[in-house]
Structure 1
Amino acid sequence: MITGDASYIKKMNRSLILKEILKEGMLSRADVSKATALTRATVSGQVADLLDEELVVEKEIEYNLVGRKPIMLSVNAEAGYAIGIDLEFDQISFAISNLQGSLVQSETMKLQATSYPDILSLLIAQIKHYQEGFAASRYGIIGIVIAIHGLVSTDEVIHYIPSFDWHDVPLKNDLEKALGLEVKLENNANLSAFAERVFFHHETDDLLSVTLYSGIGMGMMINHSFFRGQDGFAGEIGHMIVVPGGQPCNCGNKGCWEKYASETSVFQILRANKPEAEITYEQIERWIKDKDPEVTSVMEQFMYYLSIGLNNIINIYNPEVVVLDSELLRIYPDSLRAIESNLNSRVSHYREIKLSTIGKKSCSLGACAIAIQNFLQVPVLNLPYKG
């Protein structure tokens, strides 16, 4: 036997047990044994360790039949807390979740400055505040994951954030030195994709999440893992050219997808066409309900160009599920049917296209979920969505 085999197997069994308890919320020891195919003796030994570590708690449930009340196991939600941070172009959103993935606190701060020293100081101060606030729990803050709206390399160095004009910024190292905690950086679209799989699409191996707000980003889950590309920059799908020689883009090309099929593109057109109006989601929804011909035409064009890009990525990746995250699509009646009516290729194959239920919170929730997965060392994380 190779030295270390026993400890490795024990670690794998522990991960399997935690995975099943998290997925179901509550399980008896007998149910854990069935779900994992582990012997009852193995389960009992592992559960004893988890109880000692306060990662699992026991609870008797109401039972109307004769006999002992079943003792159920659940992950101790209050044993530790994860911090998910969404570093957006005009604000920073903070989310704190317990170990079951439920949000316990959230906060958004508008940015007054975008210089690296200013934002670094803000992050350090706020994270230290959360460290103090949750220090009474057994494990305190168990992980910090930050969503970056830009290019993050495989070694978690920020290569470029367009909205801040940051280049090659060592945010991870600077935060870890200041806080004494491990910090993880991840692309925002990847975290949105992770949240969609963790909280909703538990049986999906291959999922694409397309976010359509300020630009277009795509997170790719392939066999439960991120597809990153050679340097970690895969997913910049907004810069796929859909109109050769079209509108100039900041990336240096012309005719990029996000110039035609992002929410920003819709808002820009409506501001130009209706200069007297304040363009908000609520106003657009009113125009849609009133069947305003100008707004209807803009929305149809938006979905047409969106369909062109979706056709391309579906043919490239052949995903099970494509999740679209867009408030405009959520307020437009039958938007998915309108989009799918443009996907007519006989060679395009996918199982379903869905609108995101989580919306803009998917990024910070995905960040919390990554922290939970890393802390509990669960290979595949499935959590119930509690809104």
Structure 2
Amino acid sequence: MKMTGDQTLIKRMNKSLVLDTIRSHAPISRADIAAKLGLNKATVSSLVAEWLDERLVLETGLGESSGGRKPVMLLFHREAGHAIGVDLGVNTVSAVLTDLSGAILARERRRLRVSAPADAALVVCDVVRSLARSAPEAPYGVVGVGLGVPGIVDDAGVVLTAPNFGWRDAPLRGMLEAELGLRVVLDNEANVGAVGEKQFGIGRDAGDLVYVSAGVGIGTGLIVGHELYRGASGFSGELGHMTIQADGGRPCSCGSAGCWEMYASEIALTALGDGAAPELRELEGAVRLAEAGDAAAIAVLEAIGRYLGIGVATAVNAFNPEMIIVGNRLALARRWLEAPLREAAASRALRHHLDRARIEFASLGLDSAALGAASLAISRFLDGAKAGGGGPPGAAAAAEG
């Protein structure tokens, strides 16, 4: 009998649920999957057999008996493929190679000394190829690339604007896919940072959080009800461009003035006057000076911390989150930022909002955005597998050249 469209959809949904259950609860038996999902054992066995054929599920040892034969346990085959996550910063490209569970297998970081979209794309491709060559053999090879960009990205993978790069309407995803022969997922860097900390880091148990990506500029990623919040047009989270200095504010690359990121990011260091030591104009130098007890460096970093706290208080008041997570490069100066940040937030946030909000620093360090980007690539691959789309291009195409 020919299966109807409704039956096909139901089967696809059940097959998806079976894989998700194995991923969440492995090692698990077929009988336990059936019990959790309310499906009959024959249906579960048939769907598991398909996932075994597709090499995304493995059988492992025997589990505990509940009276009969010991059941064969099932695992998600996390080594069936690999993903590459890339954090494209203004001055640095940071990337990770992961398995399908998000475990990091290799890292690569490079200085970015170009600014044109096509030139930046070539650097990203070189990093991706390098990591792809290091990937162990796997049935699906490299399943895709995720990329976080400090700008506004549309659904077509076009960077509509990236003020700190000076980009407008850059078709970055198309450039990368044409060069690599791999599927590429693009998103805002703060969004993927939020996903990284939510999936793998300190925000794992928080349903509502704000991730503050403070580096060369500031972006924010919002998790609402355990899901990434994108807004009506998909462009939410640009809190770095909220005005905190209404009169006489520093001009911002976005075209406005007095934006939060002009005072609470690395831009605050580069904006220091001619009397400041050259080493103080970049983050690593400022940290070195502060570690040596330099009073000027400590004062500058503490001032940045206070401005961070002012913006954090606004985010707490506006979104009433469970957690605010401060990440990206500025977290390298946590030792001098944290106390003034917390003091400023405590003095400006509404008490009832702040009582329920934890202010934390990213637990994944500089890997938050790259891991979140890899997670998006993995999710897209698995969504395709659940829809019956087959595997994407493998690692060979990425390793050419």
TM-score (norm 1): 0.83
Question: Residues of 1 paired with 2:4 and 2:65: CA distance?
Answer: 49
Partner of 1:330: 334
Residues 174-323 of structure 1: matches in 2 within 5 Å? Answer: 174-200=175-201, 201-245=203-247, 246-266=249-269, 269=272, 273-274=276-277, 281=284, 284=287, 287=290, 294-323=296-325
Structure 2: stretches of 5+ with no match in the other structure: 385-401
What's the offset of the Cα at 1:133?
5.8
Of stretches 111-120 and 237-246 in structure 1, the one that deviates more from structure 2 is: 111-120
Whether the 8 Å contact between 2:97 and 2:135 is mirrored in structure 1 is: no
For the residue of structure 1 that corresponds to 2:98, the secondary structure is strand
What's the offset of the Cα at 1:157?
1.0
Of stretches 126-135 and 306-315 in structure 1, the one that deviates more from structure 2 is: 126-135
Question: Residues of 1 paired with 2:134 and 2:309: CA distance?
Answer: 46
Deviations 1:299-344 (A, max 9, x none): 4432322222122222222223221114245334863753553344
What's the offset of the Cα at 1:358?
0.6
Partner of 2:379: 373
Letter of the aligned partner of 1:341 in structure 2? A
Question: Residues of 2 paired with 1:244 and 1:202: CA distance?
Answer: 36
Of stretches 74-83 and 150-159 in structure 1, the one that deviates more from structure 2 is: 150-159
Structure 1: stretches of 5+ with no match in the other structure: 379-387
What's the offset of the Cα at 1:115?
2.8
1:67–1:211 distance in 2 versus 1, CA, 3 Å: same
For the residue of structure 2 that corresponds to 1:208, the secondary structure is strand
Partner of 2:89: 88
Whether the 8 Å contact between 1:311 and 1:348 is mirrored in structure 2 is: no
Counterpart check, 1:348 vs 2:353 = yes
Residues 96-245 of structure 1: matches in 2 within 5 Å? Answer: 96-124=97-125, 127=128, 134=135, 136-200=137-201, 201-245=203-247
Letter of the aligned partner of 1:306 in structure 2? L
Counterpart check, 1:360 vs 2:363 = no
Deviations 1:178-219 (A, max 9, x none): 444322211100000111111133443322111111111101
Question: Residues of 1 paired with 2:10 and 2:93: CA distance?
Answer: 41
Question: Residues of 1 paired with 2:225 and 2:135: CA distance?
Answer: 34
Question: Residues of 1 paired with 2:271 and 2:103: CA distance?
Answer: 36
Percent of residue pairs identical = 35
1:252–1:116 distance in 2 versus 1, CA, 3 Å: closer
Whether the 8 Å contact between 1:59 and 1:72 is mirrored in structure 2 is: yes
Residues 64-75 of structure 1: matches in 2 within 5 Å? Answer: 71-75=72-76
Deviations 1:126-160 (A, max 9, x none): 54565566594211121221111112123321112
Letter of the aligned partner of 1:359 in structure 2? G
What's the offset of the Cα at 1:40?
3.5
The alignment covers a number of residue pairs equal to 376
Whether the 8 Å contact between 1:304 and 1:342 is mirrored in structure 2 is: no
Deviations 1:319-378 (A, max 9, x none): 232211142453348637535533442453544222110122111100111111121229
TM-score (norm 2): 0.80
For the residue of structure 2 that corresponds to 1:212, the secondary structure is strand
Whether the 8 Å contact between 1:288 and 1:332 is mirrored in structure 2 is: no
Whether the 8 Å contact between 2:193 and 2:211 is mirrored in structure 1 is: yes
